[in-house]
Amino acid sequence: MAQAEGTEPRSMTVRRMRFPYPEDLKAWWNPVRPEFSHIVNAASLGMPYLEPYLIETMRQARAKISDAQLLKDIDAYVGQESTHFRQHQQFNKRLADLGYRAVPRMEALLKNDYAAFARDRSFTFNLAYAEGFEAMALTIGHMLVEDRDRLFRDGDPTVSSLILWHFVEEIEHKCATYDVFKALDGRYVWRIYGLLYAMVHIMARTRQGYRAMLVEDGVWYTWRSRLALYRLLARIFAKLTPRLLRILKPSYDPREVPDPPWVVAWWRQHRDGADTLGELDMTKLAEAAPVPHAA
């Protein structure tokens, strides 16, 4: 199928990124939005377990596929996901070093979750979960890029760049698990089941994590923090819901989702040799092209 208008030809690049975290990095890496900081922190805790699970699922799928292009796409997808979870491991260690008791507890829960899925669930379930997660990640990536100035402008440039890089690549490999699922199964019921299961599972664990960290910070029960959280979640879901509903269509194909111009500009800047995309200039996020952090 042809690319949608506004996209570049579909390709994936495995990038070796450098994220120079400051020595005094705080869990509230966006001090203006501590609730958003902890939502991101909680989601990050799952990446070293979720993404190896996705990689293993795609490796099992690879053994069942003979199409040369699809095999190449799986290899690139695995390469990108491998860099993602290793970068999140480094960030999560910084969170653990801050002394949050919730961090090792949530890591243990998430490790057990994905080990149980891989061990006890069918290949069909794991394949559907993988596509469900990637479909959800595509919508989250678009939301984060669209609202990047509001969500990240006051944040630490390194953490903000980590998250934006991750979702730039989620958008880049938006077709990988979809194509594998379509080639090996393709049943609409399973695709939607995987989406709903992944959404409920990941959102529930993320809420559990950010709630625990906000409790440890002593702000969960304050009305100001709770109001800020509810306003933030309302804004996020207002932007996510129309995109999620699009996935429910039987005719859904991620190729028909145009890539945001900022993401295309990020790809081009990396391709042109920029080596400072691990620390963007947060004051210029509203511009069309990603701007590296000033030296």
Mean pLDDT of 282-292: 86
Confidence of residue 9 (pLDDT cuts 50, 70, 90): very low
**Domain presence at residue 66:** yes
Give 110: exposed, middle or buried? Use CB within 10 Å, 0-12, 13-18, 19+: buried
* 192/132 Cα distance (integer angstroms): 7
Give the pLDDT mean for 260-276.
91
User: Scanning the structure block, which residue is given the tokens 């979720």?
Assistant: 50
pLDDT in tens, 184-228: 999 999 999 999 999 999 999 999 999 999 999 999 999 999 999
Please, what is the average pLDDT of the chain? 94
46-81 per-position pLDDT tens digit: 999 999 999 999 999 999 999 999 999 999 999 999
Do residues 151 and 141 lie in contact, with contact meaning Cβ atoms separated by under 8 Å?
no
pLDDT at 8 over 50: no
pLDDT digits (tens, 9 = 90+) for 116-128: 999 999 999 999 9
pTM for this predicted structure: 0.94
**pLDDT, position 274:** 82
* Per-residue confidence (pLDDT) for residue 5, from 0 to 100: 40
With 90 as the cut, is the pLDDT of residue 293 above it?
A: no
On whether the CB atoms of residues 81 and 133 are closer than 8 A, the answer is no
277/47: higher pLDDT? 47
Distance CA 148, CA 285 (A): 7
Question: Residue 217: its pLDDT value, please?
Answer: 97
193 assigned to some structural domain? yes
How many CA atoms within 13 Å lie on the side-chain side of 166?
25
Residue 25 domain-assigned (yes or no): no
- 89 occurs within a structural domain: yes
CA 113 from centroid of its chain's CA atoms: 18
Q: Residue 258: give its domain's CATH number.
A: 1.10.620
Taking Cα atoms as reference points, which of 239, 262, 231 lies closest to residue 145?
262
Helices 188-217 & 102-120 angle (0-180, nearest 10): 160
Of all residues in the chain, what percent are helix, strand and coil, respectively (each to 5)? Answer: 70, 0, 30
Q: In b/e form, how buried is each residue of 242-260, taking b as 16+ CB within 10 angstroms? A: ebbebbeeeebebbebebb
What's the sign of the alpha-carbon dihedral 69, 73, 79, 80?
positive
Residue 295 falls within a domain, yes or no? no
- Decide which of 5 and 63 is more confident: 63
Q: What is the pLDDT averaged over residues 92-97?
A: 95
User: How confident is residue 275, by pLDDT bands cut at 50, 70 and 90?
Assistant: confident
Residue 10 binned pLDDT confidence (cut-offs 50, 70, 90): low
Domain count, the chain: 1
Task: Write out the residue range of the structural domain in which residue 174 sits.
Answer: 34-262+278-284
In a domain, 147, yes or no: yes
- What is the C-alpha to C-alpha distance for residues 133 and 177, in angstroms, rounded to an integer? 9
Tell me if 28 is assigned to some domain. Answer: no
E strand intervals along the chain:
none
Determine, yes or no, domain membership for 267.
Answer: no
CB 157 within 8 A of CB 149: no
Of the candidates 261, 233, 75, 38, the residue with the CA atom closest to the CA atom of residue 168 = 261
pLDDT, mean of residues 34-43? 98
